[in-house]
Amino acid sequence: MVMQLRPYQTEAVAAVYDHLRRRDDHPCVVIPTAGGKTPVMATICRDAVTQWNGRVLILAHVKELLEQAADKLRAMATDLWNRIGVYSAGLKSRDTEHPIIVAGIQSVYRRAAELDRFDLILIDEAHMLPPDGEGMYRTFLSEARIVNPNVRLVGLTATPYRMTTGMICGPENLLNHVCFEVGVRELIVQGYLCPLKTKAGRRKVDTSGLHIRGGEFIAGEVEALMDDDSLVRSACREIVDQTQDRHSVLVFAAGVQHALHVQRVVGEMGHECGFVCGDTLPFERAGTLKRFKDGGLKYLVNVNVLTTGFDAPNIDCVALLRPTNSPGLYYQMVGRGFRLDPTKENCLVLDFGGNILRHGPVDALEIKDRSSGNGEAPAKECPQCQAVIHAAYSLCPECGYEFPPPKREQHDHEASTAGILSGEVTETEYEVQDVYYSVHVKRDAAEDHPRSMRVDYRVGFNDHRSEWICFEHTGYARAKAEAWWKARSHEPFPDSSQRAVDICEAGGVAPTQAITVRSVSGEKYDRITKHQLGPIPPLLDGSDEYDDGDLPEYVGPPDEEIPF
């Protein structure tokens, strides 16, 4: 059976091959949690074994990930079933002859010669690579190069950074260059990841007194701060209240005693809550996790064990009952809710540790220079509804609360492109890397309210600019939509936003190559004012004739009169 890769997975495989052909160093692929790294690995393995007669080693850092990687590879690449071996002391398996070996780094880092020659070494969860210096991976790679001086290393991860030393790729690191990356928001827009909703806890904790060791808050201090009875009860009440219509709630606690406290309080509120930690017996952990995945257990609290590699697609709420100074850990916790599942429309993230305000939205993490404490918060909380949103919003998209203008008491890190005087106009042109189309329903609108088509232009990694095209409206909004359509397509003017999306996704409109975004000092929103378009495509049905419906050449009112 040949795997059908998603478009971005195909691009990732091609980027790896292009890097290996053109460069002498080691690439890294960045795909979000639940975005499907295993099909990429399986395709590379198949090509290496069947087309190049090579051997591949897949390294993982914990037994559970190793076992999971082997099982997923066998499931996704059934033709490789008998070519995959496992080398792990913990799994009591020491295969050395297969063309594809999945191994635990602890078991093999001094046994490269025993495993014989490899052409490619793939590192799953590559953010677990040690910092610069002599670690187990570096030791193994040095010995593997003795067996085959041309062996190449390829990393795969959702988070290409460590909490202590920043990005994992660098000239002197084991991995040197990110050859491909796709963002969380892109995959949500494309329908491959679950949409997220966020709320901060009503009762706030003050983390200013926490000390940092090795890049992370000191664990004992964090647990002492969070394991306050009134705080635990307030948080548990809020979790239960906010998840009445949720099915599977995963809670991250600050320590074992804190987790047991949470488990007890949730139980007192009439709901069973499971508990797992590093010391939980294997058979007990397996039973608890099975009940949670099967839907028999709604609440599950854990301590540092379900952050990486734990797959439960039914998770529709993640509660962060602990602060972390690590953007990677924060991402991995929230990432447990990324997977799609028929039982959920979105995943609710309840943050009681100020993590979103500290690190930014999970689709736009800010990796700060650890030597500097400067910089604005990358996100902010709405004081009216507790929604946690990007810092750029002046109006809360959840409830409409209008934020006061920011006060600036210190200079910014770099010169601003915004106008210095109210009303000053700044225009910036962006090259468009990709375009996504979707039907937009206005929040809290009546059932019969007209819908619009939302167009998201990707102009950088996790940087999107949007506009709304109002096919179902009347007046100026409708006329603007008609002019927009006439400039891009020979297809008949669509009678609904859904029809417009279908035509756009089928390739019935001209590609957008660049956009110009206008910012006006004192105004709340930027506006896309110009589009650089490619050629209009032929009609989708293959005919040569088209009818533009006699759409008018419309000249609208001045921009300041635009009502949306």
Classify residue 418: in a domain, yes or no. no
Do 136 and 205 lie in a common domain? Answer: no
Classify residue 214: in a domain, yes or no. yes
The pLDDT assigned to 262 comes to 97
The span from the CA of 250 to the CA of 302, in Å, is 8
The pLDDT assigned to 273 comes to 97
Q: Which of 183, 212, 244 is the last residue of a domain?
A: 183
For 104, other C-beta atoms within 10 Å of its C-beta total: 23
Residue 96: which of 121, 115, 70 has the closest Cα? 115
Do 166 and 213 lie in a common domain? Answer: no
What DSSP designation does 492 have?
A: P
Q: Which two tokens stand for residue 165?
A: 């030393």
Do 178 and 209 lie in a common domain? Answer: no
The span from the CA of 236 to the CA of 245, in Å, is 16
Do 465 and 338 lie in a common domain? Answer: no
Classify residue 526: in a domain, yes or no. yes
Q: Which of 183, 209, 232 is the last residue of a domain?
A: 183
Do 362 and 452 lie in a common domain? Answer: no
**Segments forming the whole domain that contains residue 451:** 425-561
Contact 29, 16 (CB under 8 A): yes
The residue count of the chain comes to 564
The span from the CA of 380 to the CA of 397, in Å, is 12
Q: Which two tokens stand for residue 521?
A: 């000092």
3-state secondary structure of 314: coil
Do 21 and 117 lie in a common domain? Answer: yes
Classify residue 449: in a domain, yes or no. yes
Strand partners, 167: 161
Do 239 and 123 lie in a common domain? Answer: no
Angstrom distances, CA of residue 228 to CA of 35, 218, 236, 241, 320: 37, 17, 12, 20, 15
Classify residue 416: in a domain, yes or no. no
Per-residue pLDDT of the chain (564 residues; tens, 9 = 90+): 556 899 999 999 999 999 999 999 999 999 998 898 888 988 998 899 888 889 999 987 766 666 677 777 777 767 777 788 888 877 777 888 889 988 888 888 888 888 888 999 999 888 877 655 457 888 888 889 999 999 999 999 988 876 555 678 888 888 899 999 988 888 988 899 998 888 777 777 888 888 888 778 999 999 999 999 999 999 999 999 999 999 999 999 999 999 999 999 999 999 999 999 989 998 899 999 999 999 999 999 999 888 766 778 999 999 999 999 888 888 889 989 999 999 999 999 999 998 888 887 776 655 554 333 334 445 566 676 666 665 655 666 566 667 676 544 343 333 333 333 444 567 788 899 889 898 888 766 777 888 999 998 888 755 678 899 999 988 878 888 999 999 999 999 999 999 999 999 889 999 999 999 887 655 666 789 899 999 999 998 877 655 545 544 433 333 333 222
Do 323 and 176 lie in a common domain? Answer: no
Do 171 and 239 lie in a common domain? Answer: no
Q: Which of 183, 217, 248 is the last residue of a domain?
A: 183
Contact 158, 31 (CB under 8 A): yes
Classify residue 128: in a domain, yes or no. yes
Classify residue 188: in a domain, yes or no. no
The span from the CA of 20 to the CA of 328, in Å, is 27
Do 108 and 167 lie in a common domain? Answer: yes
Residue 220: which of 255, 269, 192, 193 has the closest Cα? 255
Contact 317, 240 (CB under 8 A): no
Do 216 and 166 lie in a common domain? Answer: no
- The amino acid occupying position 439 is V
Q: Which two tokens stand for residue 433?
A: 């890397």
For position 61, which CATH number holds? 3.40.50.300
Classify residue 408: in a domain, yes or no. no
Do 12 and 155 lie in a common domain? Answer: yes
**Number of domains within the chain:** 3
